[in-house]
Chains A and B, each alone.
Chain A
Amino acid sequence: MLRYALERLLTAIPTLLLLITLAFFLIRLAPGGPFDAERALSPEIEQNLNQLYHLDEPLPLQYFRYLGQILRLDFGPSFQYRDWTVNQLIAQGFPVSLTIGGLALLLGLLAGVLIGMLAALRQNHWLDYLLMSLAMAGLSIPAFVLAPILVLLFAVHFGWLPAGGWEWRLQYMLLPILTLAMPLVAYVARLTRASMIEVMRTGFIRTARAKGLPLHQIVLRHAWKPALLPVVSYLGPAAAAVITGSVVIEKIFTIPGLGTYFVQGALNRDYTLVLGVVIFYGMLIILFNLLVDLLYAWMDPQIHLDSREGY
């Protein structure tokens, strides 16, 4: 297991390198530069700034300089937030994003699995139809529609929750988390329902019934593992979806998370900030996918990570 994890981390290096390279050159392809947006600077100052940040060097040189920086886990200074380094910005924004994203992921999983199981066990019953229609709706309504509706309802109409902004309090987190989790709940529910229905038809569930086990025992002991395997393999993409989703959500609810910095950075051609966030999230997703694979292997005894059978 440990060897497998180490190997996976090693093989992540080329992936990460590719990500860095692509991101580095792609953002340079975008028109404009980091110091264009504000009032026009005198050419002299601009030249000085460019020199300070090595932007006057040939691009390949900048690229290798940047790689060297990253090796030291230093994402460099932000161009826009002048007194901040990108590392500092990430350190400030990430806890907020992690809280919202993590809780949304958790909610999505818990609610999704619960709803999916319920629907599967009541297959073709009215409850099943109701839950699955709701899930379909949850999947088809985009965040930028759902968020204003929730705000109108809970903030404006009832006045129970704040419409936006951020404090480390539950009221401020509730709506963003809900919006972010909604498509996840829906997707996980549909995934769980489908795989649960399939599992309930397998031979070993029939055996469990033939043993006289009550339904709850069958589900809790025999069915949950195989039924949740597809959900587990969806965790990787789900995490990526939460991250991309949070960019929009943080903007809508004006939350000072990593997503907000990312959008600002992209608009202002804050090269280092954008690159820093992209690479940071890239590493996070790779790490998360590794954890998911380890979890998968733990759940399925037929998988041996260190010595895969090769028939």
Chain B
Amino acid sequence: MTAAMTPSLLQVSDLKVRFCTADGELQALRSVSFDMQPGEVLAVVGESGSGKTQLALALMGLLAENGSASGTAMFQGHDLLSCGQARLNRLRGSEMAMIFQDPESTLNPYLNIGRQMSEVLEQHRRMPHAQALQVAEEMLHQVRIGNPRECMQQYPHELSGGMQQRIVIAMGLLCQPALLIADEPTTALDVTVQADINRLMLDLRERYQTAIMLITHDLGVVAGLADRVLVLYAGQTMEYAAVRDLYRQPEHPYSRALVRAVPQLDSQHGAGLQPIPGNPPNPLQIPSGCPFRDRCEFAFTDCTATPLLRPARHGGQIACHLETLPE
């Protein structure tokens, strides 16, 4: 679907993430493959328990102690899953950065903003402290913080949620990484601030050519931001498509249900809002066959067999037994 001439920035194949828990083995991701081009915005969409956050953490090497990842994730010639701590530390913060959902808990409450930002440059660019502070201040200006100098002296608790998230974004962009992973970056923020932050990410992507992996449960948020969308359900890829195709002609019942679940104010009340019945499955007990079939209005006998990921008509991929999605 994208011109495959340029080499991929990130190529993930057969990524699996498992956790050993007291209640048994939990498969958070069961074979997910995708690729990202330089400067591309990929939205990873799914409900809670879909494994979307674990996908990001696995790529960043930040899985919890009881978790393990298998498969390959080639990023700038290195396999992120097997390259080892030292290599990973050279890439993290420098070539790839991550933004977390809750900016409040992302920032260290015991250090001022200046310290937390400058250390990235000192670590990766071997910059002297004074110079690092200067560059950090300039980056705060880039994310439209009114008084960067004052902000550098402040501690996180003195700042609003929107400010904190701007700072986290600025921190991620300091070394101008090739890939920025943003896990629900605006979920904890007010709507007007959310619009600001989304706008900001688009602008920064234009300026620095940073590829962005945007993780969310809300298809409303990513429509105007993403180039492609990867829809996950119970740790599996349901649909992988260009953003226009996914919204205009989704081929998987789950993708369409997600699109229709977004409240739309333009339509008459009641018509635009369609809940997906039921609840996402417990990751410890994923049913065999298509994981979505209990909630799918088109489920039929074939769905007891696991659908394989296959090429879709829109040029992407889907995992569904339906030939065509009925209206």
Answer whether A and B touch in the complex at a CB cut-off of 8 Å: yes
B102 interfacial by beta-carbon distance below 8 Å: yes
Q: Considering the complex, which residues of chain A in the window 270-309 have a beta carbon less than 8 Å from any beta carbon of chain B? A: 299-302
> Given contacts A210-B98, A212-B89, is CB(A217)–CB(B62) below 8 Å?
no
Closest CB in chain A relative to B56 CB, distance in Å: 10
Please report the C-alpha to C-alpha distance between residue A301 and residue B102 in the assembled complex, in whole angstroms.
20
Closest CB in chain B relative to A310 CB, distance in Å: 15
Mask, A221-236, CB within 8 Å of B = 1, is 1100110000000000
Interface size on A, residues (CB 8 A): 22
Mask, A199-211, CB within 8 Å of B = 1, is 0001110111111
> Given contacts A301-B110, A301-B155, is CB(A210)–CB(B105) below 8 Å?
no
Task: Give the tally of cross-chain contacts (CB within 8 A).
Answer: 73
Contact A302 B108 (CB under 8 A): no
Give the chain A neighbours of B157 by CB distance below 8 A. Answer: 301-302
B10 interfacial by beta-carbon distance below 8 Å: no
From B107, B115, B123, give the contact of A207 (CB < 8 A): B107
> Given contacts A203-B102, A206-B100, is CB(A211)–CB(B109) below 8 Å?
no
Contact B110 A208 (CB under 8 A): no
Closest CB in chain B relative to A298 CB, distance in Å: 11
> Given contacts A203-B102, A302-B157, is CB(A213)–CB(B93) below 8 Å?
yes
Contact B92 A209 (CB under 8 A): yes
Please report the C-alpha to C-alpha distance between residue A302 and residue B159 in the assembled complex, in whole angstroms.
12
Closest CB in chain B relative to A246 CB, distance in Å: 34
Main secondary structure, interface of A, reads helix
Closest to A201 in B: B64
Give the chain A neighbours of B168 by CB distance below 8 A. Answer: 207
Give the chain B neighbours of A301 by CB distance below 8 A. Answer: 109-110, 112, 155, 157
Closest to B168 in A: A207
Contact B119 A211 (CB under 8 A): yes
Closest to B56 in A: A210
Give the chain B neighbours of A204 by CB distance below 8 A. Answer: 105-109
A214 interfacial by beta-carbon distance below 8 Å: yes
From A202, A203, A211, A302, give the contact of B93 (CB < 8 A): A211
Closest to B104 in A: A203
Contact A212 B90 (CB under 8 A): yes
Instruction: Name, among A123, A212, A221, A300, the residue most crowded by chain B CB atoms within 10 Å (CB to CB).
Output: A212
Closest to A225 in B: B110
Closest to A224 in B: B110
Please report the C-alpha to C-alpha distance between residue A299 and residue B109 in the assembled complex, in whole angstroms.
11
Contact B93 A212 (CB under 8 A): yes
Closest CB in chain B relative to A231 CB, distance in Å: 15
Please report the C-alpha to C-alpha distance between residue A205 and residue B60 in the assembled complex, in whole angstroms.
14
Contact B62 A206 (CB under 8 A): yes
Closest to A124 in B: B65
Contact A210 B60 (CB under 8 A): yes
Q: Considering the complex, which residues of chain A in the window 55-93 have a beta carbon less than 8 Å from any beta carbon of chain B? A: none
Please report the C-alpha to C-alpha distance between residue A221 and residue B123 in the assembled complex, in whole angstroms.
13
Contact B106 A211 (CB under 8 A): no
B94 interfacial by beta-carbon distance below 8 Å: yes
> Given contacts A203-B102, A302-B157, is CB(A210)–CB(B62) below 8 Å?
yes
Closest CB in chain B relative to A159 CB, distance in Å: 49
From B92, B97, B109, give the contact of A302 (CB < 8 A): B109
Give the chain B neighbours of A299 by CB distance below 8 A. Answer: 110
> Given contacts A203-B105, A204-B106, A217-B123, is CB(A210)–CB(B111) below 8 Å?
no
Contact B108 A208 (CB under 8 A): yes
Please report the C-alpha to C-alpha distance between residue A206 and residue B100 in the assembled complex, in whole angstroms.
10
Q: Considering the complex, which residues of chain B in the window 60-103 have a beta carbon less than 8 Å from any beta carbon of chain A? A: 60-62, 65, 88-94, 97-98, 100, 102
B120 interfacial by beta-carbon distance below 8 Å: yes
Please report the C-alpha to C-alpha distance between residue A210 and residue B119 in the assembled complex, in whole angstroms.
12
Contact B123 A212 (CB under 8 A): yes
21 contacts between A and B (CB under 8 A): A202-B105, A204-B106, A204-B109, A206-B62, A209-B62, A209-B92, A210-B62, A211-B93, A211-B97, A211-B119, A211-B120, A211-B171, A212-B89, A212-B94, A213-B93, A213-B119, A217-B123, A222-B108, A222-B111, A226-B110, A301-B109
B-to-A contact residues, CB < 8 Å: 60-62, 65, 88-94, 97-98, 100, 102, 105-112, 115, 119-120, 123-124, 155, 157, 168, 171
Closest 4 CB pairs of A and B: A203-B105, A212-B93, A212-B92, A211-B93
A-to-B contact residues, CB < 8 Å: 123, 202-204, 206-214, 217, 221-222, 225-226, 299-302
Q: Could you list 19 further interchain pairs (A-B, Cβ under 8 angstroms) beyond the known A212-B92, A212-B124?
A: A202-B105, A204-B107, A207-B168, A209-B92, A210-B62, A210-B97, A210-B98, A211-B119, A211-B120, A211-B123, A212-B93, A212-B94, A213-B89, A214-B89, A217-B119, A222-B111, A300-B110, A301-B112, A301-B157
